[in-house]
Amino acid sequence: MKTTDFIKEEFDSSEYNDEAGMVKTNLHTIARMCKVLDKHLEDDENMAEWAQEKIAVVKSMIVTVTDYIISQHEQGIQPTVSEDASAGATGSGAVATSMDGGAGFGKSIFMKRNPTKVKKK
């Protein structure tokens, strides 16, 4: 599929009315959970690789979005709201399929599945 094959999302002004407020709420939640996690981690504690990877991915995503917003503001550009309909799904899928979960992770959507081959009789 070519990039030009994606369906463009129609601009709906009612959809874009409090993005900054929603982002700030999410950032406060992330900051709060970081403090809680930091409090519960011992300096010499081992952590499962899947958990380390998730923290690294979140860090990378926050850095990417922050750099984007700062660059847009420095250039005097209002960040665009007309995106490809697949933009969020593509990014999320890339993250979701890159992690294989781990002990205690349950049947999460983030875990890779090993398809079972069915033998034909």
Report the alpha-carbon distance of residue 51 to residue 48 in Å, rounded.
5
Contacts with 76 (C-beta within 8 Å, 6 or more apart), sequence order: none
Report the alpha-carbon distance of residue 91 to residue 80 in Å, rounded.
17
Amino acid occupying residue 39: K
- pLDDT digits 0-9 by tens, 14-35: 666 778 899 999 999 999 999 9
pLDDT band of residue 80 (cuts 50, 70, 90) is: low
Strands (DSSP E) found in 53-117? none
- pLDDT digits 0-9 by tens, 44-63: 999 999 999 999 999 999 99
Contact 96, 110 (CB under 8 A): yes
Six-digit token string for 90: 């593509």
| Mean pLDDT (the chain, rounded) | 73
